[in-house]
Chain A
Amino acid sequence: MARKLLLEHINVPGINTFDVYRSKGGYAAVEKALKTLTPDEVVEEVKKSGLRGRGGAGFPTGMKWSFLAKPEGVARYLVCNADESEPGTFKDRYLMTHIPHLLIEGMIVASFALGAKTSYIYVRGEMMPQIRILEKAIAEAKAKGFLGKNILGTGYDLELYVQPGGGAYICGEETALLESLEGKRGNPRIKPPFPAIAGLYGCPTVVNNVESIAAVVPIINEGGDEYAKLGIGRSTGTKLISAGGNLRKPGVYEIDLGLPVEEFLYSDEYCGGIANGKRLKAVVAGGSSVPILPANLFLKTINNEARLMSYESLADGGFVSGTMMGSGGFIAYDEDQCIVRNTWNFARFYHHESCGQCSPCREGTGWMEKVLHRLEYGHGKMSDMDLLVDVSKKIEGNTICPLGDAAAWPVASAIRHFRDEFEWHVTHPHEATTRNFGIAHYADPLPKLEEAAG
């Protein structure tokens, strides 16, 4: 069984309270950082750890921190992105519900490293219960002298606040989040300037995902080098995977990066295989916006190597035969699921969540949804698939923020890998409304390289 860094004590009764958390070694990272390290040394440890942003983009956290501008006399902010809304992802909710002090502890250490005196945790508004949990945890930490003025007598002051969102997926984009935190519509900003230069209230700001902030705690406790020993290659450390869909044991799992996907999917330690003894048809590996893969291409790369749960291995094959780690929102589809319906569902989601600021996304997401709706309900045409691919290309890369890409990729990849299922919806419109296409050849072993070449 792999070591758990974040969820080690998750099952300890009362771990959501300060006292129990503290008794399990909690807040040691705050003591170590504030009393024995300088802010720059904390940043250095995080750099050494190789930690990559856990919100989806996978950008090295230490590097992001080192980009923060530090002009004299200007406030700096750390904002935690807890606007978890990517379909398939629910790890942050889980962490905040059960072990809120881990996030608070990480926030204190990270704020110290960045020189922030006020930090915010922006939690999506629907997570009102988690907001209450965090507020209670903050009050406890403050009462014990870990927040507020002169923390642990070190002279470092920090106020930490929880900000609720209002219901908008787009606020998971960091500049939209900052706009929202300023009390505005969640329209992503046009970059540059990046938040590291001009973020919240025009001040230098770092925005990090919940899990990235939490991971700072074990990194400081054990050292960046120790953390970097876990994982594989540039995918260091552990990662929380939200496993959902047609699984026997859905839930949040902490894995060492580099775990074979087959083991994650089928071993009893993790997902325990597909529910109801069915077969796997397809997987979305990192949240709804990453490319969907048929079962065979998910389990093995195009070179017939076992695929691993790591940033690099999941991306192996690029957009042709690979996918992405994303936020770790793992969705498994069994043989009875309809890929056309799922693609329409995701397209509807992105249409609903587009902020409407820039034209390709505002108009294109709605267009794709309408075409997919007509395919799903038996009114599609053979030319629709090419139309969808073309519209997705017109959106991809041409928008202000990554929501355009996130809307385009699932559509383009579904058509790339499941085109025959889409075509079947056109050629068998009546049948398609009463039964599903089934697993077809999507789980067949990949052809051997020689055969493929021949």
Chain B
Amino acid sequence: MLSVQDTNTPVTFSPELISKFADVVSRYPEGKQKSALLPILHLVQAEFGWTSVPAMDKVAEYLAIQPIEVYEVASFYTMYFLKPQGKYMLEVCRTGPCEIVGATPIMEHIEKTLGVKEGDVTPDGLFSWRGVECLAACGFGPVLQIGPEYTFYENLTTESVDKLIGDLKGKANN
């Protein structure tokens, strides 16, 4: 179960996480460590489920940049969650090519099945869902993805979505 953190709760980065940060930073020239910001925010989100203010502040400290530079970036890109989400965030592509092969009915089905509106979290903390823009899988629509590894599910039908949600529930309860 995802441990939802309060905005003010301080976070600690494990030595393993810090060593992953260091590996990312080593890819860029001396003094250009800010380049590591996007990959590091992905690592933080994979670890904590979202990018909280204390986590972003610690990232800023690690990269020796101002906290606002992290907030600016995290709020610009759509992949970083600025509030806690369900353990499984179902992101359904809703752009043109997926839409014409039935993205809207899939989203309506997910909303009905999970019983929560777009962006909300199910009471058990397991699921959230949202429509996202083109995921570059237009030939295999409708598609959805689930972070943090962004596993892809293609050619969705209401049945395959039901099975997917069932499987994820089973996985979480084991």
Contact = CB atoms under 8 A, between A and B. Distances in A.
A–B contact (CB under 8 angstroms): yes
Interface of A: 75, 84-90, 92-93, 118, 120, 124-129, 159, 161, 163-169, 180-186, 201, 242-246, 250-252, 284, 288, 329, 331, 333, 337, 341-342, 345-346, 349, 352-353, 355
Contact of A168 (B72, B77, B99): B77
Given A88-B138, A242-B138, A349 B151 contact: no
B100 A183 contact: no
A353 B132 CA distance: 11
B150 A250 contact: no
Contacts of B32: 182, 201
B134 to A, nearest CB: 4
Interface in B10-51: 27, 29, 32, 34-39, 41-42
Interface centre among B29, B141, B150 (most CB of A within 10 A): B150
B49 to A, nearest CB: 16
Given A87-B96, A250-B138, 14 more contacts: A85-B134, A86-B136, A89-B138, A90-B137, A126-B136, A126-B150, A128-B150, A129-B149, A167-B132, A183-B37, A183-B38, A250-B139, A341-B99, A346-B96
B168 interface: no
Contacts of B72: 184-185
B145 interface: yes
B145 to A, nearest CB: 6
21 contacts: A86-B134, A87-B95, A87-B134, A93-B137, A118-B29, A124-B136, A125-B38, A129-B149, A159-B27, A163-B38, A166-B73, A168-B77, A169-B133, A182-B32, A183-B63, A183-B65, A244-B139, A246-B101, A250-B138, A331-B100, A341-B99
A337 B36 CA distance: 44
Given A90-B137, A90-B138, A242-B138, A127 B97 contact: no
B37 A88 contact: no
A288 B136 CA distance: 12
Listed from nearest, the 10 A-B pairs whose CB atoms lie closest are A166-B77, A244-B138, A167-B79, A183-B37, A250-B139, A183-B34, A167-B78, A128-B150, A87-B134, A185-B76
A242 B98 CA distance: 13
Interface string B95-135: 11101110000000000000000000000000000001111
B61 to A, nearest CB: 15
B45 to A, nearest CB: 10
Nearest to A331: B97
Interface of B: 27, 29, 32, 34-39, 41-42, 63, 65, 69, 72-73, 76-80, 94-97, 99-101, 132-141, 145, 147-152
A242 B139 contact: yes
A79 to B, nearest CB: 12
Contacts of A288: 95-96, 134
Contacts of B133: 85, 87, 169, 349, 352-353
A183 B138 contact: no
Contacts of A93: 136-137
Contacts of A284: 96
A288 B134 CA distance: 10
A333 B138 CA distance: 13
Contacts of A244: 97, 138-139, 141
Interface centre among B38, B134, B136 (most CB of A within 10 A): B136
Contacts of B73: 166, 183-185
B38 A165 contact: yes
Given A166-B41, A331-B97, A333-B100, A87 B34 contact: no
Contacts of A128: 42, 147-150
Interface centre among B76, B79, B140 (most CB of A within 10 A): B76
B101 to A, nearest CB: 7
Contacts of A201: 29, 32
A91 to B, nearest CB: 9
A74 to B, nearest CB: 12
A127 B150 contact: yes
Contacts of A75: 29
B76 A349 contact: no
B150 A166 contact: no
Nearest to B152: A129
A184 B39 contact: no
A120 B100 CA distance: 35
A160 B139 CA distance: 30
A186 B75 CA distance: 11
Contacts of A245: 97, 100-101, 138
Given A92-B136, A129-B152, A161-B27, A166 B97 contact: no
Contacts of A84: 136
Contacts of B37: 183
B99 A345 contact: yes
A250 B99 contact: no
